[in-house]
Amino acid sequence: MINYELYKVFYWAAKTGSLSKAAQSLYITQPSVSHAIKQLEESFGITLFYRNSKGVALTQEGATLYSYIEKSQILITLAEEKMASLKNLDSGELRIGGSDSLFKHYLLPYLESYRQKHPGIKLHLNHGTTPETIAFLKEGKIDLGVVRMPIVDSQLEVMKGIELQDCFVAGAQFAELKDKVLSLEMLLQYPIILFSRNSRVRMAITELFQSYGHQIKPEIEVGSVDLLIEFARKGLGISYITKEFIAKELEEGSLFEVKLDIQMPPSQVGFMIMRNMPLSNAASKFIEFVKFTDEI
């Protein structure tokens, strides 16, 4: 197999028609150029150049070789430019998986700022539950997933993100509960609205109630934060929802937090990637951006 550097010297000698100009382009000496061409000619057993008044010119065989080498050199140059572009985040793509609520209420401002800073990066968002996001990651459909922790899987590496606080909230229909502190038994007397069973939030609240010896059975199950908010505002029941996602509703008074006599544990958001797999530059920089930015 012939060293690529020999082809590179051949290309510049043929392109410039001069051994000295080829040496200048490659930042090597002219004897080095001559030696490289001689090695290439000896390896093929063919003369590739002949000397003329202007420098050197290709033989018929040399011209045939050049027609191939020129194409490869153009592709290599394009590849090098593409790699530089990916490194500098001038191009590339960022593929993230997660729930609608985490995209909308947590990642959206970071995605907006990241896109403004790196407009050449294409964004691909795959919506799904935690099990679906894990499947997307293992199938190579996404670079990283944003999920509720804990995640126990030897194939995955999870980095901690923000901490969230979940709570029960209600609308004006249940105004009599505003100044009360309820026990779990008292809360269960009211209609409860929860996320669907396969969500991480649903699993967590179910386990919490079980630890206190209670079964929480919702009257309504939904698949989005928006529906949890709207159903609570309409007075259809008491929703279990992340407090940070309803800051506006709590501030304007369309919803209020239902106080309990137990401390609701916080939940942790994590960034999930495949263990021992190289992360794209766009994805790696996005994780750093979310972790270290103080703009949002």
Q: In order along the chain (296 residues), what is the average pLDDT of each group of 10 residues?
A: 86 95 94 95 95 93 95 88 84 92 91 92 92 92 92 92 93 95 96 88 92 95 92 96 94 96 91 90 90 58
Report the pLDDT value the prediction gives residue 129, as an integer from 0 to 100.
Answer: 85
Expressed in angstroms, the distance from the first to the final Cα of the chain is 55
The verdict on whether omega for the bond into residue 191 sits within 30 degrees of 0, i.e. cis, is: no
Q: What is the CATH number of domain 166-265?
A: 3.40.190.10
**Side-chain-side CA neighbours of residue 244 (13 Å):** 14
CATH class (in words) of the domain with range 4-87: mainly alpha
Report the pLDDT value the prediction gives residue 112, as an integer from 0 to 100.
Answer: 93
CATH class (in words) of the domain with range 93-163+268-292: alpha beta
User: Which residues have C-beta within 8 Å of that of residue 168, sequence separation ≥ 6?
Assistant: 187, 238, 239, 240, 241, 257, 258, 260
Task: Map out the domains of the chain as residue ranges.
Answer: 4-87, 93-163+268-292, 166-265
Decide if 4-87 and 166-265 have a common fold: no
3-class state of residue 2 by DSSP:
coil
Report the pLDDT value the prediction gives residue 224, as an integer from 0 to 100.
Answer: 87
Q: pTM higher than 0.85, yes or no?
A: no
Report the pLDDT value the prediction gives residue 110, as an integer from 0 to 100.
Answer: 93
